[in-house]
Amino acid sequence: MKETRAWILVIGILAIAAWLSYSIVSSVRGLVSTVEDTTENALGPVGELTGGLATQVSQVLNPTPTILPNPITIIREVRTLARLETIQYSVEKVVTAESGDERLRFLVGEEMIFVAHGVVVAGVDLAKMDVDDLWWQGDVLSVRLPPAEIFIATLDNDKSYVYDRQRGLFTRGDIHLETETRRVAEDAVEQAALEDGILDLAQVNAESYLLRLFHTTGIDNVVFVQEAAE
């Protein structure tokens, strides 16, 4: 009987100990969870503040340029045009610009590699035609067109860019170098189109277009001539 009571007492003590252990573990877990939540809530504004500060610093170091055109506009000239554009070239050229003595360029010189994307438009200027440039020979209409010419030769600023630019250790760079490079690149783009025969193609396209135009008016026999009419 005494042994039975002893075992009951031992089991009761163990049960109480288990319950106390469970209560302590639950309390500790709740406390840890509360501390974690409190830490996250406390550090959240700090993280947001740090991110906002980084954004502000980035904006200060890399500001967005503000470009405001002057509201005053002056129209210098207005001309009437009768240009027939018949062909367009898109040309890419790589231009290298250098300044300073080659032997001292790493100290006081400068070098730039510029990739130019240009547009060249050619055609004939119909305003240069006179009444004597169209005449009938029987039922054949003879037409003498002005020679083809370049109307536009310019750079596409959205596609043209400075690929590389290196300055010497003791130079701040030539502020006019890129401007001069763009001018040379524009001339190079036009020259490349001329060498490829853009004027000949422009003349052929102009004659082909006007021939179709004459046909729509009922004039079927048309001859384009280059020499002066007799």
Asked whether 186 and 110 are in contact (CB, 8 A), the reply is no
Q: Can you tell me the mean pLDDT for 146-155?
A: 95
- Final residue before a domain boundary, out of 78, 109, 127: 78
Alpha carbon distance 42, 39 (integer Å): 5
* Model pLDDT for residues 32-91, shown as the tens digit of each residue: 455 455 545 544 554 555 556 566 656 665 667 777 777 788 887 887 778 999 999 999
The verdict on 7 and 74 lying in the same domain is yes
Nearest alpha-carbon partner for 155 in 123, 174, 178:
178
What percentage of the chain reaches a pLDDT higher than 90? 40
The verdict on 70 and 121 lying in the same domain is no
Q: Is 230 within the bounds of a domain?
A: no
Q: Is 52 within the bounds of a domain?
A: yes
Q: Is the pLDDT of residue 16 over 60?
A: no
* Model pLDDT for residues 219-228, shown as the tens digit of each residue: 889 999 985 5
Count of structural domains within the chain: 2
- Give me the chain's average pLDDT, please: 77
The verdict on 74 and 135 lying in the same domain is no
The verdict on 23 and 100 lying in the same domain is no
Alpha carbon distance 102, 105 (integer Å): 5
Alpha carbon distance 151, 127 (integer Å): 13
The verdict on 62 and 156 lying in the same domain is no
Q: Can you tell me the mean pLDDT for 132-141?
A: 91
What SS3 state is found at 101? coil
Q: Can you give the pTM of this predicted structure? A: 0.64
Task: Extract the tokens encoding 176.
Answer: 């006019």
The larger pLDDT score, comparing residue 58 to residue 193, is at: 193
The verdict on 88 and 69 lying in the same domain is no
Boundaries of domain holding 59: 1-78
> How many CA atoms does the CB half-sphere of 56 hold within 13 Å?
6
Report the DSSP beta bridge partners of residue 225: 144
- Final residue before a domain boundary, out of 22, 56, 78: 78
Per-residue pLDDT at 229: 45
The verdict on 116 and 150 lying in the same domain is yes
Spell 25-35 as b/e; 16+ CB within 10 A means b. eeeeeeeeeee
Q: What is the DSSP string of 84-99?
A: EEEEEEEEEEEEEEEE
The verdict on 198 and 90 lying in the same domain is yes
* Model pLDDT for residues 141-150, shown as the tens digit of each residue: 999 999 999 9
The verdict on 106 and 34 lying in the same domain is no
- Final residue before a domain boundary, out of 22, 57, 78: 78
The verdict on 170 and 209 lying in the same domain is yes
Asked whether 123 and 83 are in contact (CB, 8 A), the reply is yes
